[in-house]
Structures are given as structure tokens and as C-alpha cells.
Amino acid sequence: MSFIEQTREFWRRDKTWFSSGQTRPYVDVSHQVILYIEGLSVSFDGFKALNELNLYINDGELRCLIGANGAGKTTLMDVITGKTPCDQGSVYFGQDINLLEHSEPKIAQLGIGRKFQKPTVFAAHTVFENLELSLNTHKGIWFTLVAKLSTAESDRIDEVLRTIGLEQQRNMLAGALSHGQKQWLEIGMLLAAEPRILLIDEPVAGMTAQETERTAELLTSLAGKHTVVVVEHDMEFVRSIARTVTVLHQGAVLAEGSMDSIQNNPDVIEVYLGEEP
């Protein structure tokens, strides 16, 4: 028995030999820009989902991406996170990290978190475990075989649970959560990972008005400490959080600026907002 305890103790100490958080590379944001996307093109069987797209995201800003269905918003996130290879162009994280060279797990480890359009949480795990797996720590096999949750980590999870308002559901299976709660849990999973950039695809789809309001509060509170890029169709929501809005159309940037300037932009009115009263 004491042998087992000793081994446990050994491994606990072992954890502090590595630093408790994963060592992330230094991201050079000396020019204020954290994400450089230049001349990006992606085509699927000849169809250009992204067409020579240029986009610069500043460090700590909250940027909204809007655009009609099929404008290429999700595809853009896929390229940034390494899921979809691109035909042309460049994507830089800070001054000198070329994201196109890295795989999805590596990009996640670099500090770019992503929420999918369709909420994806691990249904067979509890809310707590979902967050545990998302923590910013070592992700290697031998580490996870013996990993024990440190007090700091479990405090961090509790903090995230409070932030996303799921303390009551802590030990519930994520599969049993409501749709809106799943959306929040997924945002919580991003927060647990302490990323530099959060890419959030349609966070309020399927949420009630109250839930939407709380999500807006949450996202605005995240900006500054993190860089947040939000894709959303709900114009009400975008208006409530937006500082800078970028409009995508047919795989390229159509307009960029404050919500008011966007709404008065004749091109935008024609292709996108024109449908609104």
C-alpha cells in the first residue's frame, strides 16, 4: 500500500519537474497584429471557397466575421486551425510562426482554440472531465497515463465552471446537457486551454434570448486578455458585441469597419444586409 502511495507521490512531484503549464512559444506581436492572413485561396473541386483573402487580426481585439451561407467563414477557420490545406497564401501567428506548417494538435498547443459550428463536446464524459481534457498541459501519451489533477488545475476548472455557469452540472454527462449548455461547455473547454486566440463559430445558434445575452457578456469580457474571432449570423448579437466587423463574400473580404459603417456600406447592403428590413 505504502509502495503505491510512494509511486503516486513520485509521479506527483514529477509533474512539477515539467512546468505545470505547457511551454508555449513566444508569439511576437510587436506590430499589434496577432494573425496575418494573406492571399489565401482554397478550392474544392474547382469551387473557390476562399479567394485571395486578406485579413489581419489585432492582438486582444474582438472581431466579428459575418457573411451569407457559404461565404467561406468556416473554411477560413479550418485553414487557420490546420484542418484544411490551402492552395495559396500564408497564415502567420504573430510575426514568425507559420501556421501552415503545423498539424491541428500542434496549432492547438500553440494557443489557438476553436469552437465548432455544431457544438461538439464529449457526450460520454462528465462536464468536469470535458474541461479536464482541455487544460493547457502536456498532451503526450506517457504523461496522460499517469497524470493526476493538481490542485491548481482543479481550481482552474472550477473557475471555468463558474464562468460558464455550469457548476451545478459539474458531474453530469455532457451528453445530457441542453443545446445551449453544450455551447457554453465548448466555450469553457476553450477557456480551460488558455488560448491566445479563440475562434468561435456560431456560438449562439439554438440559444434562448437570455442565453444569447449571457454569451455576449462572456465574449466581450474575454476580449483584451484573449483575441476573439466570432462568426455569427445573428445580427442582433453581432451588434451587441461588435467593435470591428468583417464581411466575407464569396471567399473574400467585402468590407471591414464598425457596425455602423458596415450597415451603410452599399456593397454590403446589396449582397447581405439587403435582405434585412
Partner 1 sequence: MSTLKSLFIASLAAGRLTGNGIQYVTIILLVTVFICSACNLLIPESSAFHVSTYTITLLGKYLCFALLALSVDVIWGYCGVLSLGHGTFFALGGYGIGMYLMRQIGDRGVYGNPDLPDFMVFLNWDTLPWYWYGMDQFWIAIVVAVAVPGLLAFVFGWLAFRSRVTGVYFSIMTQALTYALMLAFFRNEMGFGGNNGLTDFKELLGFDIQSNATRVALFLSTALLLIAALYLSRYIMKSRFGRIIVSIRDGESRTRFLGYMTNHYKVWLFVYSAALAAIAGILYVPQVGIINPGEFSPINSIEVVVWVAVGGRGTLYGAVIGALLVNYAKTKFTALMPDGWLFALGALFVGVTVFLPDGIAGYLENSARALQAKADLDNTSEDSLSKDGTSKDNNPKDKPTEEVTP
Ligand X SMILES: Nc1ncnc2c1ncn2[C@@H]1O[C@H](COP(=O)(O)OP(=O)(O)OP(=O)(O)O)[C@@H](O)[C@H]1O
For binding to ligand X (CB under 6 A), which residues are involved?
44, 49, 67, 69-75, 117
Q: Does 133 bind partner 1 (CB under 8 A)?
A: yes
Q: CB-based burial of residue 232 (10 Å sphere; 0-12 exposed, 13-18 middle, 19+ buried)?
A: buried
Q: Are 259 and 94 in contact (CB under 8 A)?
A: no
Nearer to partner 1, 175 or 224 (CB): 175
Q: How far apart are CA 240 and CA 234, in angstroms?
A: 10
Nearest to 27 by CA among 192, 222, 219, 197: 197
Q: Find the part of the chain contacting partner 1 (CB under 8 A) among 8-16, 175-183, 226-234, 250-258.
A: 175-183
Least Cβ distance, residue 202 to ligand X (angstroms): 7
Nearer to partner 1, 205 or 253 (CB): 205
Picked from partner 1, Mg ion, ligand X, none, the partner binding residue 7 (CB below 5 to 8 A depending on kind) is: none
Nearest to 185 by CA among 102, 116, 98, 268: 116
Q: Does 172 bind partner 1 (CB under 8 A)?
A: yes
Picked from ligand X, Mg ion, partner 1, none, the partner binding residue 69 (CB below 5 to 8 A depending on kind) is: ligand X
For binding to Mg ion (CB under 5 A), which residues are involved?
74, 117
Segment holding 199, helix H or strand E: strand 197-201
Least Cβ distance, residue 232 to Mg ion (angstroms): 10
Q: How far apart are CA 218 and CA 196, in angstroms?
A: 16
The amino acid at 205: A
Nearer to ligand X, 74 or 134 (CB): 74
Within residues 207-246, the interface with partner 1 by CB under 8 A covers: none
Within residues 75-104, the interface with partner 1 by CB under 8 A covers: 81, 83, 103-104
Q: Does 251 bind partner 1 (CB under 8 A)?
A: no
Picked from Mg ion, ligand X, partner 1, none, the partner binding residue 72 (CB below 5 to 8 A depending on kind) is: ligand X
Helix (H/G/I), strand (E/B), else coil: 18: coil
Q: Are 71 and 250 in contact (CB under 8 A)?
A: yes
Where does 32-162 show beta strands of DSSP type E? 33-44, 47-58, 62-66, 88-93, 97-98, 112-115
Nearest to 179 by CA among 215, 149, 143: 215
Nearer to ligand X, 10 or 44 (CB): 44
Nearer to partner 1, 193 or 247 (CB): 193
In the complex, the residues that contact partner 1 under the rule CB under 8 A are: 81, 83, 103-106, 108-109, 113-114, 116, 120-126, 129, 132-134, 139-141, 144-147, 168-169, 171-173, 175-178, 181, 189, 193
